[in-house]
Chain A
Amino acid sequence: MSQQLAIIVLVDVGNALDSRTLEDNTYLFDNMKLQGSEGEGTGDLVTAINGSYWSDGSQASEQVLNWLPYSLGSIPPTVPRGYEADRARQSDLEALADLSALANRPPEGADMGSQLHEIHRSVGARVKSTGHGQGRPGGKILDVTGSVVTSDNAAAHSYPAPVITDIYGEAVDEKIIYPAEYGSPDLVTDGWYWSATVDTSKPGTYGYTMRIQLHSLVRKGEELLWDPVNLTCQSRLRITREPKRNAFTKAGMGMLPLP
């Protein structure tokens, strides 16, 4: 079918980081179940790709695959791209307002130290940028509800979305798919996605491997850092092909069946 196919790569990020493997922590879906895909919702998806060819043997239509990584335990990908920055800025503004109120009208007999500590908590914890051009940039840590998280309760934090960094393996080596990463203004996928055209002229089942980067929150001294963790998971494509046929005659070209 000459349509764009979507493969959802849903990662249980927390458990994958704990066990340091994507096995049993990845769930794959595609939109070709009715066309013969198997293993929907498991880590063992076989994506059905039905190719077709003209009577002279040439390929009738190309297929396009799109891989979309999602995560369990993250802020939904449908919120605007600047959401995290907006929430972080809002917490800064609230803290400044509290500070201003405290400076102008300090409550009588109040413990200034504890008041300041409370304001400091409401600012939240900030992750230091690694500054090496790798991993995620710095920023505040949020939980899944968008609230800032303090360094002493960082266990409730939201995980950054998984990132596909490469697609390789048999299907690529055999020149069945030609994957590449593309940029787009699509906010849902954060502007980047992996896509591939498929050569449906070579039937068979071909495996491929996705390299997926997760981020683990680690503490180094007084600092919090996003530590990139590279893991891999595998999937397969099953390519079949059949000839096109004339729908009126179920054979070759003929006259239109006018009454």
Chain B
Amino acid sequence: MKDKVNIVVVVDVIGALSDDTLLNGNLCLIDDGSDQSTGQGTPELCTAVEPGQTVQWSALAVDLQTPVEIKSITFLGDETNKPAGRESGDTNGGRPQRGGHPRSHDRQAGEQRENGHARSGQHERSHESESLELDVWAGVVPPVMRPGVPYRYRLEVQMYEGSHSTLHIDSPALIRQ
């Protein structure tokens, strides 16, 4: 067993923002875990992990000069771990949506952005982007993870800044071998 599994989120930022979707080949996920992982190179990556392993996500932009960062990774509830999701965005197997701020403080931030408050000051915007690039999305797989059950997660990426800069998908998952 490897100590660490890396998951790379490759984003064609220009394509994603132009198409308004992370599908159509605008995002692909790749991991370096075991052969049991499925969906390599697609948004439906299901990464095989073992308790005790460290999983680390990182974002990579196809266009070198266009910044892209992971804004949030949120593991979905039991219901959404079933193949047919209950959320409107999951009816299409994890259809990407704009915004989507699962965590309360993110939701608040999203509302502020929609109300235009985030545009009020240069400092606020720059602080937000600075903090994103400092984030390391990594964690240890807990022993409570049930074998054979895909734990789906919402992956939200931010491409540059502005009211239309974030998109997310709910389709990737971790699964205990």
Contacts and interface: CB of A to CB of B under 8 A. Distances in A.
Interface of A: 1-6, 31, 34-36, 48, 50, 52, 242-249, 253-259
A256 B133 CA distance: 20
B107 interface: no
Interface string B135-158: 111111110110000010000000
Interface of B: 54-55, 61, 64-67, 70, 72-73, 75-78, 81, 125-126, 129-130, 133-142, 144-145, 151, 160-161, 174
B138 to A, nearest CB: 6
Contacts of B77: 259
A36 B75 contact: no
A247 B135 contact: yes
Contacts of B61: 3
Q: By CB atoms of chain B within 10 A, which of A52, A245, A246, A259 has the most?
A: A259
Contact of A52 (B134, B138, B142, B144): B134
Contacts of A6: 65
A31 B129 contact: no
Given A1-B129, A34-B160, 15 more contacts: A1-B133, A2-B133, A3-B64, A34-B125, A36-B126, A50-B130, A244-B136, A245-B136, A247-B136, A253-B54, A253-B140, A254-B139, A257-B139, A258-B174, A259-B76
Contact of B161 (A2, A4, A34, A258): A34
A35 B131 CA distance: 10
Contacts, number: 86
Nearest to B74: A257
A218 B161 CA distance: 48
Contacts of B76: 259
Contacts of B73: 247-248
Contacts of A258: 75, 142, 144-145, 151, 174
B39 to A, nearest CB: 19
A4 B134 contact: no
Contacts of B129: 1, 34-35
Contact of A248 (B133, B134, B137, B144): B137
Contacts of A255: 139-142
10 contacts: A34-B160, A35-B126, A242-B134, A246-B139, A247-B70, A248-B137, A255-B139, A256-B140, A256-B174, A259-B75
Contacts of A5: 65
B126 A34 contact: yes
